[in-house]
Amino acid sequence: MRVALDVPLAGPFDYLPPSDDPLTADDIGRRVLVPFGRRRLAGVVLAVDVVSDWPAEQLKTVESIDRRAPPVPAEVLALASFAAEYYRANLGEVLLPALPPALRSTRQWRMPRPLVRGPLEQPAPPAGADPDTDDADDRGAARTPAAAPTLTAEQAAALATLSPKLAAGFSTTLLHGVTGSGKTEVYLRLLAEVLGRGGQALILVPEINLVPQMLARVRERFPDAGVVAQHSALADGERLSGWLAARSGAARVVVGTRLAVFAPLPDLALVIVDEEHDASYKQQDGPRIHARDLALYRAQQRAVPVLLGSATPALETWARAEAGAIDRVSLSRRARASALPNLQLVDLRRGVVAAGFSQRLVDALRLRLERGEQSLVYINRRGYAPTLRCACGWLADCQRCNAHLVLHRQPRGLRCHHCGAQQRIPTACPSCGNLDLQAVGQATQRIETLLAELLPTARIARVDRDSVRRRDDWPQLLADIEARRIDVLVGTQMLTKGHDFPGITLVGVVDADAALYASDFRAPERLFAQLLQVAGRAGRGDTPGEVLIQTRLPEHPLFDALLRADFAGFAKDQLAERQAAALPPYAHLAVLRAEASSDEACERFLGAAADLAQQLIRQARQKQARQAVQVFDPVPAGLARVAGQHRWQLMLHATQRPALRALLATLAPQLPAVAGRQVRWSLDVDPQLTD
């Protein structure tokens, strides 16, 4: 038998079945416990009755097979297999992390109580019980669905285009709607049709903190649909219950983050990818899968439509729509507010009040406070200040990374955001002994402190990864915002995506220029998306919104397009630059990354890998195969050292995707022998970060 294991070795692995428990084809996808070296691991059965390349006497025997939980469906196994092949990863490293922790643990687990039950699974009421009252919650009795709002003309037109696709097989449609245009209502109307036909739906969101709001909206509208969440922050029992409910068909809608793309849905009829542009869909550790692209593959696999929603689509998606490769439906007006917020630039070259705040922004904040309205101050940097410095030139640097230590006040200390190293704040400069050390730049904690001084009566809440850590923090924060117990929000991009805060009438952006200096070619695209998304939090209620963007580069073309809310014009210019430079979507990239204890080891490995790639390209040309792949020289990564490990990268560039895939299929299996034990390496196909 063949088993997938979550180990960093080429697999799958062959085992002998238990002598007292023969396996059949029905056991494919089931969980097994196997010996692996000195360890005991959980795996998933991929095949039975296979002929192994290893002698039988060298094969170990499976310890046990777990038939309590249903097997992983063949469709999910096929999706994981495609992901492993495309992203050049081991199948077990893709498949096992996508399962609930209980199913990949070697410890015994109990079958959890179902979160929801299907119509055939409802227990009969005890004798003499009133079926309309007793045990109603356990039986999944109805609640009253929330009323659906009246559609706008654009929403109705969008549904007239999208509804016929539900019964027409696979299709891909971009729903390009400005912030507040009611994309979620379009999702809900399509869900109503899918559920009415007996289908299931998968809704992906880019981050965990977006799940509660989407989950609440879907449950309010469809209280009897058994809506469940799937993401890594759930308790193990809750995640397993949701997985089992989806697998059995009792849960008709799954809302989740990246790995929910692998959720078992036997009646899948619709896939929705909300905020499809978001880089969080791309996994940055382990197998570098992209959930949006796998969602497209899964929808095609099941012959069902997929809907990609965004106010700022990924340029790759936009280019496909412009070329007619996918359909596009637009929502150009807000559903509730009369107009989009008024965006204005504030030129910081004309002076600031303190710590990066202009007088204009301070006055605007005070005005909203007097009116009883809410404001949001955005800066995409957590901590108190980016670093600490002395007049002599000393900077607080991390000893293990090529990065500055970030100054934090809560808790107090210097912290590296890359390796986690922490230090006390020195009382004097370690270089010259100067007692006057200065905090450099702004971050969320410093902005919070300054606003408390400028607006002493304001109720201020900071929202970043330091303040929202526990499971209950985010729901409590949303409740406080909705109840108007907060006057000013200070936060990072956690606040920019998909949230509906009707009370916010002002958004202030403190430091809009930092991303313009990044070396990655996608930096302008990400900045435009972040600014347009955060601007969209203003004026979503009855009061018009205003957005003040502070900058020292007001003449930059990006800000010109932003002021006009002209995503199409911005995308056209960016795509023209990408085409001229032969960058995605007009080319295809893969990055081979290396980490080692020295630069020499990284450079030696990547140099050997580059030579091997060139050799394979020449061999393909000799066979008259088209291999238009360019191999660049190895270079240090943008962040050249993290946690004491030196980091280098090698880029592969191709004008045709099949040529790159063919090269990687031949190159990747040979890399372990080239790397040896001194170098850790990874392949990133279709990378989102290339610096």
DSSP string for 527-551: HHHHHHHHHTTTT-SSSPPEEEEEE
Pick the closest to residue 462 from 502, 410, 389 (CA basis): 410
- d(C-alpha 401, C-alpha 263), whole Å: 37
Average of per-residue pLDDT values in the chain: 89
Tokens of residue 359, six digits = 């007088």
Question: What angle in degrees, to the nearest 10, is found between the helix axes of 657-667 and 599-622?
Answer: 120
Cα distances from 64 to residues 18, 43, 44, 483, in angstroms, run 7, 11, 12, 53
Give me the domains of the chain, ranges plus CATH numbers. 2-98 (3.40.1440.60), 153-331 (3.40.50.300), 342-385+441-579 (3.40.50.300), 588-685 (3.30.70.600)
The residue with greater pLDDT, 542 or 258, is 258
Q: What is the mean pLDDT of residues 196-219?
A: 94
Q: Which residue has the tokens 């959930």?
A: 291
State the pLDDT at residue 355: 67
Confidence label for 614 from pLDDT (cuts 50, 70 and 90): very high
- d(C-alpha 299, C-alpha 203), whole Å: 12
Phi/psi for 13 (5° steps) reads -120, 145
State the pLDDT at residue 53: 83
The residue with greater pLDDT, 301 or 474, is 301
Q: Which DSSP category does 204 fall into? A: E
Tally of CB atoms within 10 A around 541: 18
| Residues 388-405: tens digit of each pLDDT | 999 999 999 999 999 999
b (16+ CB within 10 A) / e for 414-433: bbbbbbebeeeeeeebeeee
- Decide if pLDDT at 246 tops 50: yes
Q: What is the mean pLDDT of residues 126-138?
A: 35
- What is the edge-to-edge ordering of all strands in the sheet holding 268-274? 228-230, 253-256, 200-204, 268-274, 305-310, 171-177, 327-331
- Decide if pLDDT at 550 tops 70: yes
| Residues 495-548: tens digit of each pLDDT | 777 677 889 999 999 988 888 888 889 999 999 999 999 998 888 888 889 999
Q: What is the mean pLDDT of residues 96-110?
A: 86
The residues pairing with 229 across neighbouring beta strands, listed in sequence order, are: 255
- d(C-alpha 361, C-alpha 510), whole Å: 9
pTM of the model: 0.91
Q: What is the mean pLDDT of residues 647-674?
A: 94
DSSP string for 373-401: -EEEEE-S--SSBSEEE-TTS-B-B-SSS
Pick the closest to residue 426 from 400, 393, 388, 398 (CA basis): 388
Pick the closest to residue 377 from 389, 368, 365 (CA basis): 365
SS3 201: strand
| Residues 270-310: tens digit of each pLDDT | 999 999 999 999 998 889 999 999 999 999 999 999 999 99
